[in-house]
Chains A and B, each alone.
Chain A
Amino acid sequence: MHLVIIGNGITGVTAAQTVRRLQPAARITLVSDESEHHYSRTALMYVYMGHLRYQDIKPYEDWFWKENRLELVHGTATALDADQHQVQLSTGQTISYDNLLLATGSVSRRAGWPGQDLLGVQGLYGLPDLAQMERDTQGISRGVVVGGGLIGVELAEMLHTRRIAATVLVRDQHYWGSVLPPEEAELVDKQFRQHDVDVRYRTELREILGDTDGRVRAIVTSQGEELPCQWVGLGIGVTPNLSLAQSSTVETDRGILVNELLQTNLPDVYAAGDCAQHRQPGAGEVPIEQLWYTGRMQGETVAHTICGRPTPYRRGVWFNSAKFFNLEYQTYGQVPARTPTDIESFYWQHPTGNCALRINFAPTPMML
């Protein structure tokens, strides 16, 4: 069996390792265009901040791949021919597969703002973005970050460590308004204040203004205010990377559509991780999961099915974690921004405002 995996992120790499374990004789090829070897995307910010070097965020030594007979191809898969069971690469090579896993991840979202293609405007998803940020924030005095979510706060923290003044535009009236209840958002706001980040709530980006060299010089907010800056970070979320999928007859919506076995509509073609959209998500679950640990779980699950042990993907109890400057955050189960009327919410906060605990429960009988 020859398994070809497109994408060497956590999803593709977990699938490769699991297949190696379940089927020692399988031939496994990992194709990826971003980096020769797998690295931890979640640790990108620490490289910019100088806490880690690039080689520190590679979880495996470079000999690991050869030792485990995982063939690496550094290139872009440009076309998929499902009838021929073949993938075309940018290197001119064509690879044949028995099974194909699409683990192509996401791309940063862009909202179509005027000026978004100016020099100094970017998202943060991968290594090219990191290099661009490194280059374009050298010696600047002010950056503007658009987006009140997880990437927004990371970008603000990154600028802060380089002593670059940061303004964050947040559409909602509090930070991460779609996810955090107001009390927790207030604790994050305190972190922003303690780190001198200027946060503008209920404020959106209207336009980015450039100078005669095509470089950003200011932005205009939805209130019509012009803020001078030399760099703009877009942190408004990510969307599945469909560039390869769109070269084929694989069915897509926002993501690559899969059933609970992570199978696409094409024979022997699977999709998992950030790029996959579940046709029938479980109750209270989202169709597209853009998380590190769900990528790992999906990669492991799909490997079983590929090895002839059909295994439906079941996420189990929702979990997420993040860090806002010095404040760690963890959540288990459903704790929405607005507590439903039939749910009680117990909230305790330490007097210093440096930690808090919320437990939601059913009132009668009183249980989780």
Chain B
Amino acid sequence: MGLRLRQAVCENWIKTQTPIHTVIGRLKTANFDPEFYRRHEPAIQRQFAEILAVKR
């Protein structure tokens, strides 16, 4: 929502059943707006790490 991701990158991740860690770590390769990821990627990665910590 409110983001534009590259179709080829997303399709490839889905087709090759990419590990979720890899996807979260490489989100900026899918995004059209590098500025967005520079500002928000840390927050996204932090939230992902927190969820993993709770699950363990």
Interface residues of A (CB under 8 A from B): 184, 187, 316-317, 319, 327-330, 332-333, 344, 346, 348, 350, 354-357, 359, 361, 365-368
Task: State whether B40 touches A332 (Cβ < 8 A).
Answer: no
> Closest CB-CB distance, A296 to chain B, in whole Å?
14
Task: State whether A327 touches B20 (Cβ < 8 A).
Answer: no
Task: State whether A317 touches B51 (Cβ < 8 A).
Answer: no
Whole-angstrom CA separation of A327 from B1 in the bound complex = 7
Task: State whether A328 touches B2 (Cβ < 8 A).
Answer: yes
- Count of chain B residues near A, Cβ 8 A: 26
Task: State whether A329 touches B1 (Cβ < 8 A).
Answer: yes
Whole-angstrom CA separation of A316 from B15 in the bound complex = 9
Task: State whether B11 touches A330 (Cβ < 8 A).
Answer: no
Whole-angstrom CA separation of A346 from B48 in the bound complex = 7
Task: State whether A355 touches B3 (Cβ < 8 A).
Answer: yes
Q: Is the interface of B mostly helix, strand, loop or mixed?
A: helix
Task: State whether B19 touches A317 (Cβ < 8 A).
Answer: no
> Closest CB-CB distance, B18 to chain A, in whole Å?
5
Extra inter-chain contacts (16) besides given A319-B11, A332-B11, A366-B19, CB under 8 Å: A317-B15, A319-B7, A332-B7, A332-B14, A333-B10, A344-B20, A348-B44, A348-B48, A350-B2, A355-B3, A356-B2, A357-B27, A368-B14, A368-B18, A368-B20, A368-B23
**From A330, which residue of chain B is reached at the shortest CB distance?**
B5
A346 contacts across to B, CB distance below 8 A: 20, 24, 47-48, 51
**From B45, which residue of chain A is reached at the shortest CB distance?**
A348
A356 contacts across to B, CB distance below 8 A: 1-3
Q: Which of B3, B13, B40 sits near A328, CB closer than 8 Å? A: B3
Whole-angstrom CA separation of A97 from B45 in the bound complex = 59
Task: State whether A332 touches B10 (Cβ < 8 A).
Answer: yes
| Known A-B contacts A317-B14, A317-B15, A330-B4; A348 and B20 likewise in contact (beta carbons under 8 Å) | no
Please name the 5 residue pairs, one residue from A and one from B, whose CB atoms are nearest each other, closest first: A355-B2, A332-B10, A356-B1, A333-B14, A361-B20
